[in-house]
């Protein structure tokens, strides 16, 4: 799992208990996972099909930096399944884990699923090469 993105918890991200609002965390997860899937499949014609189990493990508060870890779990013919872990950057404590987030590649005109042409093995290699260009381990 790679942690490539961070966000700052701001006042308008909080719930009535002054902790990160779950709905905001879900919005961030959907966006971060979509960016990840778009980069993996090298196509921005993706839609969110399914979000599996989500568990909120510990709160984040105003001023916390949270980081998003993403990994590819499964690669199908038209879909990709990813996992997203949100954790506190300073303490590394897990804030939220979202499993089985499925994106489907669709045709831009018909909006019907189309093959993305990727394999899990190919994506492992592609990601290694991408990491080199990002200058991160
Ligand atoms: C995405 C969409 C075009 C897929 O249509 P569909 O009839 O389910 O398509 P298919 O049955 O061919 O499935 C497409 C892929 O999704 C996978 N899939 C379908 N239902 C799934 C589910 N409930 N859970 C996980 N994966 C699922 C299939 O396994 C298939 O993957 P594969 O080709 O890699 O094997 C259609 O459901 C849709 O337009 N949904 C709305 C998407 C959207 O607007 N999202 C934004 C959030 S509101």
Distance from the alpha carbon of residue 38 to the mean position of ligand 1, in angstroms = 16
Pick from 46, 113, 120 the residue to mutate for probing ligand 1's pocket: most ligand atoms within 8 Å of its CB: 113
Please tell me the predicted confidence (pLDDT) of residue 4.
Answer: 84
Secondary structure class of 127 (helix, strand, coil)? helix
* Domain locations in the chain as residue ranges: 2-127
For the segment(s) 2-127, the CATH number from 3.20.20.30, 3.30.930.10, 3.40.30.10, 3.10.129.10 is: 3.10.129.10
Confidence of residue 130 (pLDDT cuts 50, 70, 90): confident
Picking from 70, 68, 71, the residue whose alpha carbon sits closest to that of residue 89 is 68
Cβ contacts of 7 within 8 Å, gap of 6 or more: 28, 65, 66, 68
pLDDT (tens digit, 9 = 90+) per residue, 3-49? 989 999 999 999 999 999 999 999 999 999 999 999 999 999 999 99
Phi, psi of 127 (to 5 degrees): -70, -40
Mean pLDDT of the 58-74 span: 97
User: Distance (Å, rounded) from C-alpha 87 to C-alpha 110?
Assistant: 38
Cβ contacts of 9 within 8 Å, gap of 6 or more: 20, 60, 61, 62, 63, 64, 65, 66
Is pLDDT above 80 for 64? yes
Ligand 1 pocket at CB < 6 A: 47-50, 76-79, 102, 104, 106, 111-113
Please tell me the predicted confidence (pLDDT) of residue 137.
Answer: 60
The pTM for the full model equals 0.93
Stretch among 56-60, 89-93, 122-126 having the lowest mean pLDDT:
122-126
Confidence of residue 128 (pLDDT cuts 50, 70, 90): confident
């Amino acid at each position: 799992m790679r942690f490539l993105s961070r966000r700052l918890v701001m006042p308008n991200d909080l719930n009535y208990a002054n902790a990160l609002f779950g709905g905001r965390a879900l919005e961030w997860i959907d966006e971060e996972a979509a960016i990840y899937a778009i980069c993996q499949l090298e196509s921005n014609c993706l839609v969110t099909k399914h979000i599996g189990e989500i568990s909120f493990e510990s709160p984040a508060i105003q001023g916390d930096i949270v980081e998003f870890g993403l990994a590819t779990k499964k690669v199908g013919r038209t879909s990709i399944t990813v996992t997203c872990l949100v954790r506190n950057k300073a303490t590394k404590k897990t804030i939220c884990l979202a499993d089985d987030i499925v994106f489907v590649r669709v045709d831009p005109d018909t909006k019907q699923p189309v093959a993305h042409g990727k394999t899990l093995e190919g994506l492992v290699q592609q990601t290694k090469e991408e990491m080199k260009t990002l200058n991160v381990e």
